[in-house]
Every structure is written in structure tokens, then in C-alpha cells.
Amino acid sequence: MPLSYDNSSLANQKKKEMGQEQTSSVSQDFRVPAKVGKYQLLERIGSGTCGIVYRAYDAILSRDIALKVSPVGTLDQTSGKIPGAQKAFVTETLSAGRLAHPNIVTVYEAGVDGSLNYLAMEYVEGMSLKEYGRGKRQLPPYRVVNIIAKVCEAIDFSHKMGIVHRDIKPANIMVSTTGDVKLLDFGIAISTSASDNLGSATPSLGTPNYMSPEQVTGKELGPRSDIYSLGAVMFEMLTGQQLFKAEKVKELFRAVIKETAPPLRSIRPDLPAELELLLARCLSKNPRQRFASGSDMATALRAIADKMAPPDLIPPELQSWMPLVQDLRFFSGFNARDVARFVSVSSLARFGAGKTALAKHTIDNHVYVILEGVASTRDGSGLSSVLGPGDCFGEAGFVRGDKCLADIDVMTDIVALKVASADVAALAESEQLPHYRMIANSIVQRRVSATDELMLDLAL
């Protein structure tokens, strides 16, 4: 039975007026069969440039993929123009042939099935930065810096391949459940080579909130246009608000061209002055004053992250806990900066007495470090252990994605630090090691303690 969706053109038009939606040349009310090519459609997961994206199943290779579909467009005999959706399909297909990079989503196959074009792509389980945009949720600043640095590396590679993305925005940056960062959707990309088959710059094609001044005015675009767009994304992730706001697109465009970006520290005075200067450089109206490459911007971001003082890293809800946190045996042997960086990607979790904090055989990709309260482990063998402040649980799911080996029963009310494996994986590689060392130390300490208790029981 074919899948169909309501016509969303009115909603999209309203979004365009508010400067939230990119220009698109295809209505998204076309019908899609339950199977396209060799792929069985499972669920709609979003929309990209000129197409709808589904989670689909590849039965031959036994894996989920992301499948973007769009209507096949034919040449207009009167105007001689190719419809935008068809052009986007060709553009993304041509781009995909060049862009093999860890931080760019992989395209497996492109094809046509009946009246539909399709692109089979790597399925990324996680969330796009759109889920954190405009203050819906906020990521710790240190994590934002590291995510943006990885996108910088993606666009640096793209630019070296002669491709300008032209639609850098939160919805096109995915963070997977394992912490991988992926740049999506090269449907309106352009080439910096005059002899290339990719498109050339077109005025007002992109997403208004993240378009560079030269993109708005239809001037020739280069890599520094993507640098500006990524700066606009970073501004939003750090402040919880979009760079410029306006009721109508033309007013938004006027602001992009003429208004100076607000200083970062006028909104977030807790962030380093160096980060404010870096962001101002990205958002300069003059492309020549921006970073020359994504690589240069990534290097500058990581240098700032290395200098961020521990208090700058810690979420407000956790600052009052820091005197206790630093004395926990879980953090024994680690300096204040390493502890702060662990806490920077943490949140507080609370469990009431008599509850099960974590059930045996469940998968939870978090590790929990007890700040106060007592719990016990119960694995069904008759052996158990008591966990108190400084102990952790959930390591198997955090490190390997394995099922929990025991029930974690709450004996007295517990407050714990909760850290997702994806949040640690999103940090720079050099910053990940201390996190895993802390967890390894805790496991070793617990096993030594359990062995001592067993030897004591045998002796008695």
C-alpha cells in the first residue's frame, strides 16, 4: 500500500516568511510506494533539499539506510530548464562521488525507480543540531566547540574537493548516539571550478537564517561563505537564539547584509573572550576577514577549548556539587581540568529509595557516578555489592553498548552524575581518554573490593 503525506506547502510558505525554511522547488505531497528500488520503506524521518527522507531497509546487506526520494523531473520544453528537485538530485549525486570523509554522511547508491529518484545513504541514529536550536535545549559550550570543530574538518575536505555546501544549518548537522558528527545534504552545493558539472551560485537559494551576506546578494561564493554559515550555527548553539530575527525574509536579508552580529559575551558573559573574537571573525561581513579554511577554524576552536578554565565548562546545576565531586574516589588521581571536563558533559540523575535505577538485561548508554546515597547490585547469583558515593554503574552499556549485568537497587535516595557515551565520543579524542580511565579505575577498585570481601567471607 503506498504511503502518502499531506501537502505541507502552506506551512512551508509561512516558515519561509519567518526566515526558517530553505527555498525548495518541489511539493512534498507526492506519493511514495512501500518499496523503492531494492529498499523497503520503514518510516519517514525528515526532509532534505528537494526531497523526503525515509528510514529504509536493505534486505540484501541486512542494514537500515536513509533513503531520500524526489520526483523525476523532465526538461521544460518551453524554458529549457531542469526542475529544481531533479537538479538537486544530480548535484547531490555528483558531490557524493567525491566526498568520502568520516564527518560527511556516506551515499551508497543513486538511482531511479519509475517516477522517483532515490539516494541511498548511511543511516545516522541520533539527533540533528536542530533539536538544540533556538533555545529548545542547550549543549555544554565545550561540547558545542568540539562538534563545530568536526564540522569544520568536514567542510575543509569538501572545499578541497572543490565543493561549497551552501546550506550549512543545524538540521544538516547530525550527532549520532555514538557521538559521531555528520554533515548532510549537498543538494544545493556548488563547485568552485568553472569546468565542473555542479551548479553555480543562485541568489537567495539556501536557508535565510544561515546565509552569508554574499549568498544573500547573489555574489560569487567560495569556502568562506560556508565558514559564515557555520559561525551562525555556532552562535545559535552557544546562545540559544538565532543570529538575526525578522518578521519577513527581506528584513532578515537586510539584517544579514547590514547589521553587526551581537558580541557573544553580551549574551553569554561566562564564555571566554577568545571564543567571542573567533565567532566575530566567522561572522564578518567581509569574506576576506573570515578564516581562510575549515582547518584553520578547527585549529583555533580546539586551542580555545584547551584554554577554557574549568568553571567555564560546568553546567550551572552542577556548580554547587563541585566541592563534593572533586573529593570522590572516582576522580582520584585526576586534575581539576579533567574532572571539570567530565562534569561538563554530565547531568544530574535522581533515584528514589526502593526503586531500580538500572534493570538487569537492559541497555543504557550512560554511566552513573553516585554523588550521594546508597545502592546495591543484584545479579541473581546470590552475590551482591554495595555502591556508595564515588562508585559508578552502567559501565557495560556506556563502554560497549552491552546489557546491564545486574539490577541496581536503590537503598536510599540517590543523586548521581549521568554521562552519555555519545557526549564523551563527541569530545576531541585527546579529551576522551581521561573519561575512560576514570571508569576503568572505578571498575578495578570495585573488583578489588569485591575480591577482598569474598576472601573475608571464605576465611570466616
Residue spans per domain, the chain: 9-122, 126-310, 314-459
CA distance 159 to 291: 13
- From CA 313, how far away is CA 141, in angstroms rounded? 7
* Region 314-459: CATH code: 2.60.120.10
Mean per-residue pLDDT pooled into runs of 10, the chain (460 residues): 32 40 49 88 79 90 90 55 57 70 87 84 88 78 89 93 88 85 80 56 68 88 92 94 88 90 92 94 95 95 77 71 84 80 86 91 88 86 79 83 85 92 75 75 58 41
Residue closest to 379 by CA, chosen among 345, 357, 409 = 409
Establish whether 167 is a catalytic residue: yes
Q: Using CA atoms, how far apart are residues 325 and 332, in angstroms rounded to an integer?
A: 10
Where are the alpha helices (H) located in 347-394, listed in sequence order?
Answer: none
pLDDT of residue 340: 82
Topology of 126-310 in CATH? Transferase(Phosphotransferase); domain 1 (1.10.510)
| Among the four given CATH numbers 2.30.110.10, 3.30.200.20, 1.10.8.60, 3.90.1200.10, the one describing domain 9-122 | 3.30.200.20
pLDDT at 381: 65
Grid cell at residue 113: 525507480
Cell numbers placing 376 = 546495591
Give residue 205's pLDDT.
66
**Who's near 448: CB < 8 A, 6+ residues apart?**
none
Please check whether residue 344 is in contact with residue 431, taking contact to mean a CB–CB distance below 8 angstroms: no
Active-site option among 167, 312, 391, 423: 167
- What region does 61 belong to: left with phi over 0, alpha with psi -120 to 50, or beta? alpha
